[in-house]
Amino acid sequence: MVEKIPLRKTIARLDSPAVIAFGNPLLDILVILKNDELIRKYSLKIDGETELCEKKLQELVADLPPEIEQYTNPGGSAQNTLRILQWLCDETHESQISVFCGGLGNDQRGSILEKLVRLAGVDARYSVHPTLPTGLCVSLVCGTSRSLVANLGAASVYTLDDLKKANPQLDSIKIIYIEGYFVTHSLDVAKELVKRAQEKNIIVAFNLNSFYIFQDHQAAICEMVGHAKIVFGNAREMIALAQALNVKYDDVADIPFLLNSLKRITMDVSSANSKDWLADDGIFIMTRGGCAPAIIVWGRGQSVQVQPIVPKTPIVDTTGAGDALVAGFLAGVLAHWDPKSCLELGCKVASCMTTRLGVTLPNGVPPDFLP
């Protein structure tokens, strides 16, 4: 068996930046509610996501009980992942591992967000849209459940012209990571990135992000799944994808295997003769929450399951757990680890994140994260 090279040692050898991500940059406000009265008043979804207009969202913020403390952090799926990835790979920020691109407003909210993201060591390259507010997401935590309420604002705009102005240099890039929310408004940009990735043999990783976006953007999501080498999603999102692709299944756990098989048939590829598990497309990672194991399927239906890791301290907030799993997994990919080791690190980081309010990073990386 090939010895696993320590993460930091591998990262130190990489040219930076190694990862570029595209997503919806949001400023997160997290509050812990004593009851679900506010959630019911605004007809919000428990353990779900709701988009409101800016005016309605500001009404909700004004309605927050004044005695409850508000926690402000950077948010947005891909932006969360990059902050965690930078922390894992080099919390000293001597080496900037990642670049993030997305739309931002020219306002106080945007200034706060940009400062916080740069403090985390991420090279933030925002496209500024002065006529739109910076995107905001309010996370209402009630017991072990949470409801996310967002207004995308400027995050909902990122054009090919914005990409041209950002002029991302891809020579050192190993992974292009795209969140599902991003393609709901910028599919043309995502397709251009896929084209450039193919020219330079860069891995494209894609996150389904939410089952509700399939309602209006099914074709765009399915197209990106077809282009991506690695696809992340939880059980509800994978079910939505299976339904969109008319994939029949008996058990939810079968879905990543069926999607892998469908991808191989469509692409006519197989890694049977390759020792590199990343040689082909069709890598699907599915989480199921609770005590159900996470699953990764690759190659000719090869798979590994990893049990979720129970944190040593109580779970206080599940916000960003999925983004954290992606960060750990992609760190393992950068280190050329095997699929199981990548998924194990992802599960460790996700477990750690559930013990913290919002997507906030501990001062140091636990020693067992860095074998």
Cα separation, 81 vs 207, whole angstroms:
11
- Residue pair 234/322 in contact (Cβ under 8 Å)? The answer is yes
Do you find a cis peptide bond into 256, omega within 30 degrees of 0?
A: no
Residue with tokens 């960003």: 320
CA distances (Å), origin 22, targets 28, 160, 345, 366: 18, 12, 23, 28
State whether residue 236 is helix, strand or coil.
helix
Instruction: Mark out the alpha helices in the chain (DSSP H runs).
Output: 7-13, 37-41, 54-63, 77-90, 108-119, 160-166, 180-200, 214-227, 235-244, 255-267, 321-334, 339-353
Residue 323 annotated among the catalytic residues of the structure: yes
Contact 58, 29 (CB under 8 A): no
CB–CB of 319/146 below 8 Å? yes
Counting every residue, how long is the chain?
371
Q: What is the distance between the alpha carbons of residues 264 and 169, in angstroms, rounded to a whole number?
A: 31
Residue listed under structure tokens 């950068």: 334
**Residue of 171, 323, 338, 368 marked active site:** 323
Report angle CA 269, 272, 277 to the nearest 5 degrees. Answer: 85
Query: Which residues does residue 227 pair with via DSSP β-bridges, in sequence order?
Result: none
User: What would the DSSP string read from start to end of 304-343?
Assistant: EEEPPPPPSS-----TTHHHHHHHHHHHHHHTT--HHHHH
| 116 vs 108: CA distance, rounded Å | 12
Strand partners, 11: none
Query: Do residues 139 and 358 lie in contact, with contact meaning Cβ atoms separated by under 8 Å?
Result: yes
* Distance from chain centroid for Cα 154: 19
Query: Which residue is it, tokens 């089952």?
Result: 211
Residues annotated catalytic, as ranges: 323
